[in-house]
Structure 1
Amino acid sequence: MAKITVRLMTSGVLAAAAATLAAGTSQAADRCDGKKPYLIYYATHAVAEPVWATVKKGAEQGADDNCLKIKWTQDDKFSVETTINRMETAITEKPDMLVITATDPTAMRPTVEKAKAAGIPMIAINVLDPAPKDQRLPYLIGIGAGLYSSGVAAAEQVLKVNPHPKRGIVPNHVPGHAGLEQMAKGFTDTLAKAGAQTEVIAIGTDVSQSSAMLSNYFLAHPDTDAVFCMNSGPFCFETLMDVERRENLSKTVSNVTFDVSPALLDAIANGEAIAGIDQLMYLQGYLPAVIARTYLDYGMMPDADIVTGPAIIDKSNLDKVKYRLMEAGLN
């Protein structure tokens, strides 16, 4: 299936966008005159962490730019069960557009089918259903990174600096998360083809416990020379850096992580990480509002999913990404 790919914006484009978004409130009121204030409702697996704050920022700006009402919901900790509960609540509120994540397609199918039967159109972001389009959950369009291909891209970054890795691991902070499992498989499949031993380690989100697990793993497997974290914050990458620095491994292991954080950018600059894999979270929040407006007004819908990654962050574009993160606040 054809896919639309979105690439990293330059700092100049971001600056121009910021200037445009600073238009006066009177102009905004005029812009929205005569437009129906549709309700766009976000009931995804969002949790209280920086990358999802960026999605929320994009969603709110998108709703404002497109004269929509918005309701954003999230959990304190990741849970498929509570995500489904929030989706069920959204259906009772009858939004004009429902934004979901296909985190567990099997578990979510009854709720998604209920929304479809109620006449509620849906957009999936971040984690898409990997099934063929005629078999996947019945959302209109998906917006997000190719997760398996993101894992492949991470492994390819490792192979650029170490063509013959001995052992590559993926610490999984949310075992059972379908999207993370796809991404981990992309990494391990690619390294295995290069002859490496590979393993996915379930570490959870207890930082002290995951720190001990990673330290013990390095002790038991001193041949580990590649690590792919699927969280750029404390749930994986920041904890990994603490462990590797304590064990004097941070510049001998090829480290890659998913998503953007100050810790990643510092590690790339210091030679402790070779790359990051970006999925452009701001656009995952922003674009559903654009599509909702055109679909609800005119029935127009792109015919292909919009792929926001993988985009590579390394020393070649570090300054641009630093601007985006530090000045614009966009993970």
Structure 2
Amino acid sequence: MRRTIVICLLLVMMVACRLSPSTTAPLDNPTLVQTEAKTLNLTLIQHASCPWAYFWCVVETGIHDAAQDLGVEVTIRRPHTFDPDAVTRLIEAAVETRPDAIGVAVIDPDQFRAPLTKAVQKFNIPVIAYNAGSGPEQDNIPYRAYIGPDERQGGYEAGKRLLAESPPGIKGACINHQPGALNLEARCQGFFDALSESDIEAERVNITPNPAESKKILQRYLSKNPETDLFLTLGPEAAVPFYEVIRNRKGAYSHGTFDLSRTILTAIEQGTTLFAIDQQPYLEGYLTVQWLTWIQRHGFSPPSPIISTGPSFIDRSNVNLIQEQVGQFR
């Protein structure tokens, strides 16, 4: 009899626990919670895409894998070329279609603030920033969380590492393939901060996504500034033309870069590049879809307004492991 009573009490407690909200997953807004029987439609808005930017192929692999794993529909919107104004129009159009949730790379918080605030406050659409952003407080946009790297810290650590692993530097150059993208500008600023602490001059070299045009710009820059010996590129689009130009240079130099490609990993193996800074783009895509789905289905809250995916360093010590993941997770 006593055993029967205990079992009954346990069953009552289990039912009560299932019916009451979890203390570890508070509901920010119970009206958002959807049943899994309803297919969620998510819209993700980027400033670049696969295949013309290798980095975004990895991000989009994460997006599609998460969509398949979680059983949601994802639409990716992006302009044909880097254009913050075009991205703003894509955000405005997406908000008017009322998707279940929105993810967006916040490359320009001032431009994106009005439509994203409208999405959240007027239409109650959950928003997450991914790849580019500084967090909801600093961007002054009421999105749930930013998923991506600390860009300025990444640039700072890159500068410090170049200084530590190189002969005393004379002058630095931050080579930016997307001038105006605030996340890339932050990388350069961190780099400048690190070099200024050692009283080393550094400047920004703006190129374009066009490799042939970028090569000419870099050739002109190096011919006018032969003393520059510390180089930071901000992605494969900048690293590839840099490699073509620097191979003819006489004298020592040190190079680091952001993001990965097979060309960059080969350069690390050969010693042409000291390191690459990885922000784990697969995770940026996967976690964005995952959190938007969890918010809508379960009312979960992200654990922090900033979910960091980097920076981390890839160099000769771990390049072999990374080679195995290129094209899918890196």
TM-score (norm. length: structure 2): 0.84
1:320 paired residue number: 321
Moved over 3 A (4+): 129-133
Query: How many pairs align?
Result: 292
Mapped pair 1:132 → 2:137: yes
* Aligned-residue CA RMSD (Å): 1.7
Which residue in 1 is equivalent to 2:232?
228
SS across alignment from 1:330 = coil
- The percentage of counterpart residues that share the same residue type is 27
Flag the 1:196–1:296 CA change in 2: closer, same or farther, 3 A: same
Question: 1:163 Cα deviation (Å)?
Answer: 5.8
- Specify whether residues 164 and 35 from structure 1 end up closer, same or farther in structure 2 by C-alpha distance, changes over 3 A only: farther
Q: Give the conservation status (yes or no) of the 8 Å contact 2:158–2:191.
A: yes
Tell me the amino acid that sits aligned with residue 310 of structure 1: P
Aligned mate of 1:114, from 112, 118, 139: 118
Tell me if 1:144 matches 2:148: yes
Paired amino acid for 2:235: N
CA distance in 2, matches of 1:93, 1:176: 28
Partner Cα separation in structure 1 for residue 76 and residue 213 of structure 2: 32
Select 1:104's aligned residue among 105, 108, 122.
Answer: 108
Match of 2:58 in 1: 54
Give the counterpart letter for 2:137 in structure 1.
P
Please list, as runs of the form range in 1=range in 2, the aligned pairs for 1:125-204 lying within 5 A after superposition.
125-129=130-134, 132=137, 136-162=140-166, 164-204=168-208
Distance 1:263 1:217 in 2: 23
- Aligned mates of 1:35, 1:58 — CA distance in 2: 23
What are structure 2's unaligned runs of at least 5 residues? 1-34
1:128 Cα shift?
0.9
Deviations 1:236-291 (A, max 9, x none): 10100000112346xx2111111001111111111100000011111111001221
SS at structure 2 position matched to 1:187: helix
2:297 is the counterpart of 1:297: yes
Following superposition of structure 1 onto structure 2, how do residues 31-70 of structure 1 map, counting pairs within 5 Å? 34-47=36-49, 48-70=52-74
Aligned to 2:128: 123
**Who wins on radius of gyration, i.e. which is larger?**
2
User: Which position in structure 2 is the counterpart of 1:268?
Assistant: 268
Task: Describe the shift of the 1:97–1:34 C-alpha distance in structure 2 as closer, same or farther (beyond 3 A).
Answer: closer
Residues 1:46 and 1:35: Cα distance change in structure 2 (over 3 Å): farther
Q: Indicate how the Cα distance of structure 1 residues 34 and 199 shifts in structure 2: closer, same or farther if over 3 A, else same.
A: closer
Instruction: Name the stretch that deviates more: 158-167 or 184-193.
Output: 158-167
CA shift for structure 1 position 59: 0.6
Q: Distance in 1 between matches of 2:217 and 2:192?
A: 19
Q: Work out the CA distance in 1 between the residues paired with 2:36 and 2:216.
A: 59
Query: Larger deviation: 84-93 or 264-273?
Result: 84-93
In the alignment, which residue of structure 2 is the partner of 1:246? 248
- Give the letter for the 1:126 counterpart: N
Q: Deviations over 1:287-307 (max 9, x none)?
A: 012212221122111231110
